[in-house]
Amino acid sequence: MKQKIRDLLKSRNAILLAHNYQPGEIQDVADMTGDSLELSIKASKTDADVIVFCGVHFMAETAVILCPDKTVLLPRTDAGCPMADMITAESLKKRLSELPEMPVVTYVNSSAAVKALSTICCTSANVVKVANSIDHHEMLMTPDRNLALYAAERTDKTIHIWDGCCPYHNALKPEDVTAARNVYPDAVFMAHPECPPDVLAMADVIHSTSGMIKFASESKAESFIVGTETGLLHGLSKANPGKRFYPVSTSLECAEMKKITLNDIVRSLEHMEGKVTVPEDIRRAALSSVERMIQLA
Ligand code: 13P
Ligand code: SF4
């Protein structure tokens, strides 16, 4: 199956990008795995004709925003992000009408239509840098309240918060961390900024998904409790064969990130199925907020 995918990719002049949460067998067949920021940058630089995006809808949409001349395939178009669905262009317009005029910083986990209304995008890897780059003291940060609270603690800016969250990361409780720490007392606890503040307060380090892989590779520690979606354990173990990684909770598994199968990738490439598109006016407006972020990277 993997050889078939590699052959199809070659014949279509396509590349396969997989988010760090994808099933292990998909990560293994991909040209590149990464966090949202790395995958956006890779998409913006490729000379392939086709990008097969294994992740969720907003990630494929970001590739379309950056690469309008390429065909972007999402092998399961129903793979979405519940957090991204917690804000719409209409609900954002309504909130903005209630606030004094201010810039909007939007997490890439959002629709193209919401990005189009935003000043700049951010990811979990660069949120503090993005907030500090804003030439204005106050800003609205959408849609993840946990990411916004994390940023607010690390900047002097005043951040207005949108009340969205990742239902998986947000469900994590301090008791889960305590239970994991009791079993693995020597392990370093790494947490993703989408976790709630009481969980982040217990973390030894806070990083994006790829930030965790880098940290674990550079750390002298031998074992780690992983405070993010369980798919990351695959990349962590692969990059660090001698080290041990334990999920903080086995229920931190994003059902949307686990929808795509190897069969879906074959079908998508054979029939060019799952094309993601964005209306041109929205794409152009969204591009300026995504590009503004990439220029900071
Ligand atoms: P990263 O940008 O850290 O990969 O996170 C994306 C995501 O969806 C986290 O839930
Ligand atoms: Fe969205 Fe959470 Fe899944 Fe990431 S893990 S794609 S934020 S639902």
Note the pLDDT of residue 43.
Answer: 85
Same domain, 175 and 144: no
Nearest listed ligand to the Cα of residue 18? 1
Same domain, 44 and 68: yes
For the stretch 201-235, pLDDT in tens is 999 999 999 899 999 999 999 999 999 999 999 99
For the stretch 70-81, pLDDT in tens is 999 999 999 999
How much distance in Å is there from the Cα of 81 to the middle of ligand 2? 5
Looking from the CA of residue 56, the nearest atom of ligand 1 is: 8
Domain CATH code at residue 189: 3.40.50.10800
Write out the residue range of the structural domain in which residue 60 sits.
Answer: 2-80+257-277
Give the total residue count for the chain: 297
Q: Which of helix, strand or coil describes residue 180?
A: helix
Task: Give the range among 36-45, 174-183, 263-272, 285-294 with minimum mean pLDDT.
Answer: 36-45
- pLDDT for residue 242 is more than 80: yes
Note the pLDDT of residue 40.
Answer: 79
CA proximity to 47, closest of 14, 88, 84: 14
Determine, yes or no, domain membership for 296: no
How much distance in Å is there from the Cα of 82 to the middle of ligand 2? 7
Determine, yes or no, domain membership for 219: yes
Contact 54, 17 (CB under 8 A): yes
Q: Whose CA is nearest to atom 2 of ligand 1?
A: 36
Domain count, the chain: 3
- pLDDT for residue 297 is more than 80: no
CA proximity to 6, closest of 20, 19, 25, 24: 25
**Pocket flag, ligand 2, residue 83 (CB < 6 Å):** yes
Q: What's the mean pLDDT when you consider all of the chain?
A: 95
pLDDT above 70 as % of the chain: 100
For the stretch 110-122, pLDDT in tens is 999 999 999 999 9
- CB neighbourhood size of 283 (10 A): 19
Looking from the CA of residue 256, the nearest atom of ligand 2 is: 3
Note the pLDDT of residue 270.
Answer: 97
Looking from the CA of residue 81, the nearest atom of ligand 1 is: 8
Mutate to test the pocket of ligand 1, among 17, 22, 35, 259 (most ligand atoms within 8 A of CB): 35
Looking from the CA of residue 20, the nearest atom of ligand 1 is: 4
For the stretch 11-55, pLDDT in tens is 999 999 999 999 999 999 999 999 887 887 888 889 899 999 999
Determine, yes or no, domain membership for 227: yes
Q: Is the pTM of this model over 0.85?
A: yes
**Pocket flag, ligand 1, residue 106 (CB < 6 Å):** no
